[in-house]
Amino acid sequence: MPSITFARSPWKQLTTRKVYANEWIAVREDQVQLPDGRETIYGVVDCGECVGVLPFVDAAHVLLVGQYRYVAQRFLWEMPTGGVRAGESLEVAAQRELAEEAGQTARHLTWINTYNPSKSVLNETAHLYIGEDLSAAECPPDHTEFIERRTFAFQEALDMVRRAEIVDSMTVIAILSAALRMNGDPRCGKK
């Protein structure tokens, strides 16, 4: 049985090889040395940073976007999300995604959470915001997006999370964080 001291020891990358890349992801295979000296291969999917905005139309309603998600093989409701472009700040990326997908900009963006959607093989960091004081924006969606927009009572969106009707992790975490924030949890939205 490995020593408990190895649990916090970093692995050492010996080599890396690009396997595949497109404009959204890159897949690589690394040869690594484990803390106990053994070697193994490790596959990594690099996605970079992404943002998501939960847009509040008013204090009790949120604007969600729905689209067919190829990997899930079904239509899903979610908040506007997307990748951060090179040289783009997180806030600018959040506003761009909100404009592209929801047709809105937010006068106020409030950070609520940063997390890793999958810690084992996916190298991605998600930054979540609440958007408030919305105004209309003209910005076409990405060429692969066919989006439906709908306003939901926040309570209904929260119930959709509870019923597993909203399954996108960024949206689930944003809705739950917003619910905690609305209930006065002082830790929500504080870095």
- Span 15-48, pLDDT tens digits: 999 999 998 899 999 999 999 999 999 999 999 8
User: How far lies 35's CA from each of 5, 123, 160, in Å?
Assistant: 9, 21, 43
Which of the pair, 4 or 65, is modelled with greater confidence?
Answer: 65
Which residue, among 118, 112, 121, 47, has the nearest Cα to 84 in the 3D structure?
A: 47
For CA atoms 113, 169, 48, 57, the dihedral sign is negative
Write out pLDDT tens, residues 85-123.
999 999 999 999 999 999 999 999 999 999 999 888 888
**pLDDT band for position 7 (cuts 50, 70, 90):** confident
Q: Over the chain, what is the mean pLDDT?
A: 92
Instruction: Give CA–CA dist 188/179, Å, rounded.
Output: 9
